[in-house]
């Protein structure tokens, strides 16, 4: 899949590029910082999705969208640095499929892109492993990467697999035996191994106070992932690539 980012400023360009790459790690991203370059790239590269922050020096927002629509009918989202009702109406009337103010977090942008693709009846270019999200924590099983507040976590393979297992069973207890079977193939002292690696995960998540923010110890049984205190763990957002 190919994404065209038409953005004059770096903030939205960087956020959209990161969001798209996390959700679709095999995607190709191409960028244009002015309207003329955007038009040329649409004609040459034939992108599957277009995201614009069309405050170009050489072209108005409406003109940029009309130029894009003259060349392509793929999903087109406008992500603007500041919300303007008048600009939103003009963008939609010019041919944009969606118009949003730049979100505060790339996870929100991923969700909006996924929603747009579904709304315009485009197959979601799905991956078999959905993103797992809790507040500022994001785990991408497809790339074996984890981020906390947009900072990449340096996790070992075992730490990553345990975090993925706990998050994918959000709200349910992961028993010592299940963790041992899934991660260590049934070899080892289950409770001691899980306790050791949960402790390591807590340190890397900054969870070192008296009260655990991410993992609840169910005495004698295992652990339950609860998400950070105050984090948004609404299940509709928890697995963005799921349903």
Q: What confidence score (pLDDT) does residue 142 get?
A: 75
Fold type of domain 2-119: Rossmann fold (3.40.50)
Cα pseudo-dihedral 169, 170, 176, 177, rounded to 10: -20
Q: pLDDT class for 103, splitting at 50, 70, 90?
A: confident
Q: What confidence score (pLDDT) does residue 169 get?
A: 85
CATH 3.40.50.2300 domain extents, the chain? 2-119
Mean pLDDT of 214-230: 81
Q: pLDDT class for 242, splitting at 50, 70, 90?
A: very low
In contact, 238 and 133? CB cutoff 8 Å: yes
The 8-class DSSP code of residue 103 comes to: P
Q: How far apart are CA 42 and CA 4, in angstroms?
A: 8
CB atoms near residue 235 (< 10 Å): 10
Contacts of 120 (CB under 8 A, 6+ apart): 75, 97
Query: Does residue 174 or residue 54 have the better pLDDT?
Result: 174
Both tokens of residue 182?
A: 């899934």
For residue 146, with 0-12 CB atoms within 10 Å meaning exposed, 13-18 middle and 19 or more buried, which class applies?
A: buried
Q: pLDDT class for 102, splitting at 50, 70, 90?
A: confident
- pLDDT tens by residue, 6-24: 987 788 888 888 878 777 7
Q: What confidence score (pLDDT) does residue 36 get?
A: 93
Q: What confidence score (pLDDT) does residue 40 get?
A: 95
- pLDDT tens by residue, 155-205: 888 888 899 889 988 888 998 888 887 777 655 566 788 888 898 898 898
- pLDDT tens by residue, 63-91: 999 999 999 988 999 988 777 788 888 88
Q: What confidence score (pLDDT) does residue 149 get?
A: 83
CATH 1.10.10.10 domain extents, the chain? 132-225
Q: What confidence score (pLDDT) does residue 47 get?
A: 92
- pLDDT tens by residue, 122-158: 655 554 556 788 878 888 887 788 998 878 899 888 8
- Phi/psi for 21 (5° steps) reads -65, -30
Q: pLDDT class for 212, splitting at 50, 70, 90?
A: low
Q: How far apart are CA 164 and CA 182, in angstroms?
A: 11
Query: Pairing mode, if any, of strands 49-53 and 76-80?
Result: parallel
Fold type of domain 132-225: Arc Repressor Mutant, subunit A (1.10.10)
Q: What confidence score (pLDDT) does residue 235 get?
A: 41
User: pTM of this prediction?
Assistant: 0.58
What percentage of the chain exceeds 70 in pLDDT? 84
Q: What confidence score (pLDDT) does residue 133 get?
A: 84
């Amino acid at each position: 899949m190919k994404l065209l980012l038409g953005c004059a400023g770096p903030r939205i360009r960087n956020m959209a590029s990161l969001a798209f790459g996390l959700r679709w790690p095999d995607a190709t991203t191409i960028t244009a910082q002015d309207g003329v370059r955007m038009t040329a790239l649409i004609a040459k590269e034939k992108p599957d999705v277009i995201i614009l922050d069309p405050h170009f020096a050489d072209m108005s927002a409406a003109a940029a969208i009309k130029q894009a629509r003259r060349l392509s009918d793929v999903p087109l989202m406008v992500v603007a640095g500041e919300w303007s009702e008048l600009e939103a109406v003009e963008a939609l009337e010019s041919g944009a499929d969606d118009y949003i103010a730049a979100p505060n977090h790339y996870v929100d942008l991923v969700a909006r892109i996924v929603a747009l693709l579904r709304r315009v009846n485009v197959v979601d270019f799905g991956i078999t492993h959905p993103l797992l999200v809790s507040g500022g924590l994001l785990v991408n099983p497809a790339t074996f990467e984890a981020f906390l507040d947009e900072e990449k976590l340096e996790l070992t393979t075992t730490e990553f697999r345990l975090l993925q297992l706990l998050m994918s069973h959000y709200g349910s207890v992961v028993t010592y035996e299940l963790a041992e079977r899934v991660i260590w193939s049934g070899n080892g002292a289950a409770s001691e191994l899980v306790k050791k690696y949960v402790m390591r995960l807590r340190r890397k998540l900054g969870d070192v106070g008296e009260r655990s923010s991410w993992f609840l110890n169910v005495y004698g049984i295992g652990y339950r992932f609860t998400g950070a205190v105050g984090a948004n763990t609404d299940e509709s957002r928890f697995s963005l690539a799921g349903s």
